[in-house]
Amino acid sequence: MDYMLAFLEGLNSKQRAAVEAKDGPTLVLAGPGSGKTRVLTSRIAYLIGLRGIAPYRIMAVTFTNKAAREMRDRIAQLVGASKTADLMIGTFHSICARLLRREAARAGLDRDFSIYDADDQLSVVKAALADLKLDEKKYKPASIHAAISAAKNELITPEEYRAESYFQEIAGRVYARYNAILRANNALDFDDLIMETVRLLRSDPIVCERVRERYLHVLVDEFQDTNLAQYALIKLIAGRHRSLFCVGDADQSIYAWRGADYRNVLRLREDYPDLTVITLEQNYRSTQTILDAAMSVIRKNPNRIHINLSTQRGHGPKIAVRELFNEDEEAQFVVDTIEELVRQKAAEPGEIAVMYRTNAQSRPLEEAFIRAGMPYRLVGATRFYARKEIKDVLAYLRIINNPADAVSLKRIINVPPRGIGEKTYEQLQNTAQALGVSCLDVLNRGEFSAPGRAGRALQEFGARWAQWVRLRGELSVGQLFDYVLQTSGYEEYLRDGSAEGEDRWANVLALRNVAVEAGDTMLSEFLSNVALVSDVDNYDETANAPTLLTLHAAKGLEFKVVFIVGLVEGVLPHSRNLDDPEQIAEERRLMYVGITRAKERLYLLRPFRRSQWGDSEITEPSRFLADLPDSVVDSKPRKNSELLQATATWQSAPAKPSANSRFKPGDKVVHPRFGQGLVLRSTPTRDDEEVEVFFFDAGGKRLSAAMSGLRKLKE
DNA sequence: CTTGCTACTCTTTTT
DNA sequence: GAGTAGCAAG
């Protein structure tokens, strides 16, 4: 308890006021690095430790499972580990999954429902399109799915779905079929977890009462990233006691594309007129230089309440803005600079992060790290749980847990190859549908027989499957895992003698560890847990190596040194978001989030060229770079037109004809006197070519291709 | 039913 | 340029 009091002493007066706020509706609005999560954690510890609230009466919603785990550990330190076991802490999705399993009967669900990830969801959309005889080429499954997801995030059922365009008309029809398939497979998608929970609480007064009575205090982290469905859920649960404590920052709202609506902040004010709003402006993370840069970028967004970020940490070094030739040289610069920083003891490798807009940008970076023999941590990209071998093994476990899961069955019924082809599977599926039972039942009852080899293979598979299902009750998750691997033939199939096969097998073994560690967790719960892990959840805290991650994944994290790469128009802001001011505003917030991850040093990198679809093109610097005041950067990025202006002159020099004519914008060239440069423009003249080049050392020049001795460099 | 070839999309961001 | 879907041949 003394420890707890000392901890509260460590907060400033405003933070402490927030922690000790009265139990009414409260919103803490605060900038980055202000200790929002710390305030939330402290409040829970305060409620348990000093106010004597029973832990099971507190529900806290975090954005990732990692955040939940850290919060639980921290609270354990403050009030004792025995008091954190009953705390309901988790993401919206994990909390809803638990609730729905517990109340499955009343929700009209089978408690062993599968949770379909993005991949599975797309297969269901494809199946729905096929059922409706719609062309995948014409209606892209991803777009249809986005429309369905958007509807679910706003709690719109297929029946309520209003189409305002022909595309939406189609989407509405697919939505209905999509949901029907999910139900037939006894499966929920991510969005269903929230939507079904809201539906349950709204339609079932008994369950609703039970939940409301139980959760005396509801706390929400990253409130700006909640969508309408999540907001509705919060209101439902916090209904009776009205002890609702939300923490957020509208400037860090970067998930509008998946339904997050920062106007929930406004709704909260409307729905709770007695809302207490507490603003925290003090920053404990970054230097003033970094905060000034962040503010100068975010200030350009319209309709926002400005939070003036200030710190006691001094100014620190200026922000380094660098122009590099392409992604490869950019990556090389990152690696070289990291080596230098580490050598100078300016930072440990583990305190450094490299951030980018899209996952694809990690590749040149990875190659540079590998070339330099420098270890690194990669968050996201080919996600562990999205790997083929992992999804296959999980599919085996899913059909055991939930025999109705046809998406998983289809995935593995012929992996390894058993001679059960598309046709055979389809017939089996049709029979099951006609009888209204699962494929397992069909096989068990011998109501379906295929001729010849396929028939025998099917019979054998059915017997195996039935045996696994029987063993499910007797074996732990880990034991079942081993048994399935042994008896399915998957191990021999995977380990085909190739190095790649061994890699994949290693991944399966890593999953096996997770299964073994699950102990006596129920199979359904184990599968829930692995379906809902996020990328940062797998982040290895202990490794002392730089981290590579997207700007989205970086939210909530901080690093001593941050590199942001690829700061060019079309990447950040992304080309798909250029026409809509709302979307530009979100890209700007993304830049803001990136900048404010840095504690001490920030590097902003701009490549002159970017490659895409095999070839590459010249770029313009990101508009966000232009917003940085001279006082915070050590050099200013220039637009391509500005690069030429400085010293543009005709240069007539050694009369040596150029070896290769035809220069293109973006070519890297070398000149005997000016060194290396970049072609920005090239105009053919009568029997020559006028080339405008930005030389990295000598500045802009206009040259004759034939006369100047300019040469193209191999890339 | 499996294998191997060709043609085509694809790049946001994620629970 | 790569990964995959779709198709034809074995």
**Predicted confidence (pLDDT) per residue in A221-250, tens digit:** 999 999 999 999 999 999 877 899 999 999
The answer to whether A124 and A186 have CB atoms below 8 angstroms apart is no
* Residue A135 beta carbon within 7 A of nucleic strand C: no
Q: What is the largest CA-CA distance in chain A?
A: 92
Rounded distance in angstroms from the CA atom of residue A501 to the C1' atom of nucleotide C10: 27
Strands A675-684 and A650-651, sheet pairing: unpaired
Res. A55: pLDDT tops 90? yes
- Closest to A33 in 3D by CA, of A355, A354, A249, A262: A249
Residues 381-440/A with CB < 7 A to strand C: none
User: Cα–Cα distances in Å, from A629 out to A318, A600, A636?
Assistant: 11, 18, 9
| Cα–Cα distance for residue pair A425/A450, rounded to 1 Å | 10
A221 catalytic residue (yes or no): yes
- Which pLDDT belongs to residue A328? 86
Query: Measured from the CB, is A412 under 7 Å from any atom of strand B?
Result: no
Active-site residue, A36 included: yes
| Ordered alpha helix ranges (H), A632-714 | 640-645, 705-708
Strands (E), A49-113: 58-62, 88-91
CB of A28 within 8 A of CB of A224? no
> Cα–Cα distance between A194 and A107 in angstroms, integer?
13
Is the distance from CB of A328 to CB of A715 less than 8 angstroms?
A: no
Least confident segment among A68-72, A289-293, A622-626, A696-700: A696-700
Mean pLDDT across A309-338: 90
Please compute the mean of the pLDDT values over residues A323-340 and round it to a whole number: 90
Rounded CA separation A689/A600 (Å): 47
Looking at residue A357, its pLDDT comes to: 94
| Dist. CA A222–CA A66, nearest whole Å | 14
What gap in Å lies between CA A458 and CA A668, rounded to an integer?
61
- Of A143-152, A305-314, A411-420, A683-692, the poorest mean pLDDT is in A683-692
Element (DSSP H or E) covering residue A602:
strand A598-607
The mean pLDDT value for A304-328 works out to: 88
- The residue among A449 and A576 whose pLDDT is bigger is A576
Q: Rounded to an integer, what distance in angstroms lies between the CA atom of residue A564 and that of residue A203? A: 48
Distance A379 CA to B12 C1' (A): 16
Q: What is the pTM of this model?
A: 0.84
How many angstroms is C1' of C2 away from CA of A364?
A: 15
Question: Is A37 an active-site residue?
Answer: yes
Per-residue pLDDT tens digits for A143-190: 889 999 999 999 999 999 988 888 888 889 999 999 999 998 999 999
Has residue A297 got a pLDDT over 90?
yes
Beta bridge partners of A702: A650, A692
Which nucleotide's C1' atom has the smallest distance to the CA of A615? C1
Q: Per-residue pLDDT averaged across A4-18, rounded? A: 79
- Our answer to whether residue A609 is catalytic in this structure is no
Query: Are A169 and A163 spatial neighbours (Cβ–Cβ below 8 Å)?
Result: yes
In DSSP terms, which residues pair with A60 in a beta bridge? A89, A219
Instruction: Find where tokens 């609703």 sit.
Output: A208
Indicate whether A656 pLDDT > 50: no
- Percent pLDDT > 90 in chain A is 41
The integer distance in angstroms from the CA atom of A429 to the C1' atom of C6 is 23
Mean pLDDT for chain A?
Answer: 86
pLDDT in tens, A491-520: 888 887 777 777 788 888 888 888 988 888
> The dihedral of CA A651, A655, A656, A660: what is its sign?
positive
CA of A166 to C1' of B8 (A): 26
| Beta-carbon count within 10 A of A205 CB | 9
pLDDT value of position A490: 86
Q: Alpha carbon of A179 to those of A136, A172, A176: distances in Å?
A: 18, 11, 5
Question: Token digits for A318?
Answer: 């200026």
Confidence of residue A660 (pLDDT cuts 50, 70, 90): very low
Bond prior to A546 in cis (omega within 30° of 0): no
Output the pLDDT for position A681: 74
Q: Which residues contact A542 (CB under 8 A, 6 or more apart)?
A: none
A367 catalytic per annotation = no
Q: Which residues contact A606 (CB under 8 A, 6 or more apart)?
A: A321, A322, A323, A324, A566, A567, A568, A619, A621, A622, A625, A637
pLDDT for the residue numbered A561: 96
- Going through A426-557 in order, the beta strands assigned E by DSSP cover 547-550
Helix axes A362-372, A327-343, angle to 10 degrees: 50
Contact of A199 with A160, CB cutoff 8 Å: no
- Note the strand B nucleotides within 7 A of protein beta carbons: 1-3, 9-15
Q: What is the mean pLDDT of residues A377-406?
A: 83
Residue with the larger pLDDT of the pair A681 and A336: A336
Residue A33 has pLDDT above 70, yes or no: yes
In this complex, the answer to whether residue A73 has its CB under 7 A from any atom of chain C, a nucleic strand, is: no
